[in-house]
Structure 1
Amino acid sequence: MHENEKARQALQEGNMEEAAKALHKAIEEDPNDPVNFINFGNLLAGVGEEDRALQFYQKALELDENAATAYYGSGNVLYNQDKMAEALTMYQQALKAGLDDPNLHYMMGLVYYQSGRIPRALASLKRALEQNEGDTEARFYYGLCLAQSEQIEESILEFERVINENEEHADAHFNLGVAMIYQEKAEEALNHFEKALEIQPDHMLAANGKKRVEELLGN
């Protein structure tokens, strides 16, 4: 069994130490294979050793400047460190290197969304959903982007589908409530705010929405 396969099996069994040993041996046996460094980087990122993970991804890229998954792994580490501009650069490099993956498009969509670049976020999230229509979180953010683009009807369809896939999605209920306010459907809005609070009692936005709708209905 190849050392990478041993590492994969050890990871499946939750044995990080054995996985690290196998990957270390794989690097010793073939120090010119970027995949070995990418796999070790993924392991380090998974256990929170992010700076070391970046070093391994960088080594992989020194061996192969088109190692798309090394760019992607680096992007994820930088995203977790709230370095959005640097993360986006890495994701764009992964895309340029040929990685056409729903997870990559989703992460690019998140970065674009969080930086307020809504049209680009829409395009990336749409691509993610074309490749994996069962990605509930990608659909939720796609709905948010539609709402922020004032495509309210379209956003409602997406939020409703999110809830069909995960009825405990508090943020989807909250945003459906907001959409119902825009459509002047106060009772439906109240139902969604209450559902969001039932799922997540400390959902302050839902609490404020509920209060606002109750005042409207009271008047």
Structure 2
Amino acid sequence: MDKIRQGINKMQEQKLEEAATFFTEAIEENPKDSLGYINFGNLLLHTHDYERAIRFYQKASELDPNAATAYYGLGNVYYEQSDFNKAQENFQHAIQLGLQEADAYFMLGLTFQQQDHHKLALPYFQRATELNPNDDSILFQYGLSLAQSEQIETAVKVFSDVLTINSNHSDAHYNLGVAYLFQEKPEKAFHHFEKALTIHPEHLLAANGKKKLEEMLQKKNKE
């Protein structure tokens, strides 16, 4: 087993010092190989040592300008630092270099979402769902961007798909409730606010939505 694979195994076992040793040895043995630097960057990202992680990813990209995962790593570092514009640039570059993985498209979508560019986020979330249709986190963010882009009918379908995968997704229940309110279906909205609160009793948004809906229905019944 090579040093990089051993280092990755140690990372997965949360034996980070041993992982660092293997990655260091891999770099010393093959200083022109970008993989050692990329994996050490991943380790540094995992330990929130962002400044050093950037240096390792940049070194990897200097050694191999086509190393898509180096740019993906940089995108993750900048995202963690809330520098969403730089994160966006690096995720886009990683995809352009051929990184056709759901996580790359998902993270790119999140960078647009964080910058309130919800419509720009949509095609990337959609592509991520195509590459990984059973990930409820990806589907949920896709649904959220649809709702924020006022594509309510499609958002309802996507939130429903989330609940097919994970019936205990309280945020999907809450947002489905909001979507049904927009569609003027108060009974369905009420049901999903209640479901969200059953799953997560401290869900403040669902509690607020349920309260306002109860007040609205009471007022309507009095009229």
The CA distance in 1 between the partners of 2:189 and 2:170, in whole Å, is 13
Q: CA deviation at 1:185?
A: 1.7
* Cα distance in structure 2, aligned partners of 1:70 and 1:12: 19
Distance 1:179 1:34 in 2: 47
Q: Report matched runs for 1:122-161 at 5 Å.
A: 122-161=122-161
Once the two structures are superposed, what CA deviation does each residue of 1:174-205 show, in whole Å capped at 9, x if it has no partner?
11111111222212211211221222333222
**RMSD between aligned alpha carbons?**
1.3
TM, length-normalised to structure 2 = 0.93
Query: Residue 74 of structure 2 aligns with which residue?
Result: 74
Q: Which amino acid aligns with 2:187?
A: E
Paired AA for residue 117 in structure 2: R
Using the TM superposition, give the Cα deviation of residue 96 of structure 1 relative to its aligned residue in structure 2, in angstroms: 2.0
Q: Which runs of 4+ in 1 moved over 3 A?
A: none
After TM superposition, give the deviation of residue 10 of structure 1 in Å.
Answer: 1.9
C-alpha separation in 2, matches of 1:13 and 1:92:
31
Structure 2 residue runs without a partner (length 5+): none
- Equivalent residue number for residue 48 of structure 1: 48
- Structure 2 partner of 1:98: 98
Query: What's the offset of the Cα at 1:71?
Result: 0.5
Corresponding residue number in structure 2 for 1:7: 7
Could you tell me how far 1:12 is from its partner in structure 2?
A: 3.0
The amino acid of 1:183's aligned partner reads: Q
CA distance in 2, matches of 1:122, 1:2: 40
SS in 2 for 1:158: helix
Unpaired runs of at least 5, structure 1: none
- Equivalent residue of 1:24, what SS? helix
1:52-86 CA-partner distances (Å, limit 9, x unpaired): 11111011011112211000001011101111011
For 1:28, the aligned partner's letter is: E
Matched, 1:167 2:167: yes
Q: Name the residue aligned to 1:110.
A: 110
What is the rounded CA distance, in whole Å, between the counterparts of 1:70 and 1:206 in structure 2?
Answer: 40
Distance in 2 between the 1:200 and 1:79 partners?
A: 28
Once the two structures are superposed, the pairs formed by residues 172-211 of structure 1 within 5 Å of their partners are 172-211=172-211
The answer for the alignment partner of 1:86 in structure 2 is 86
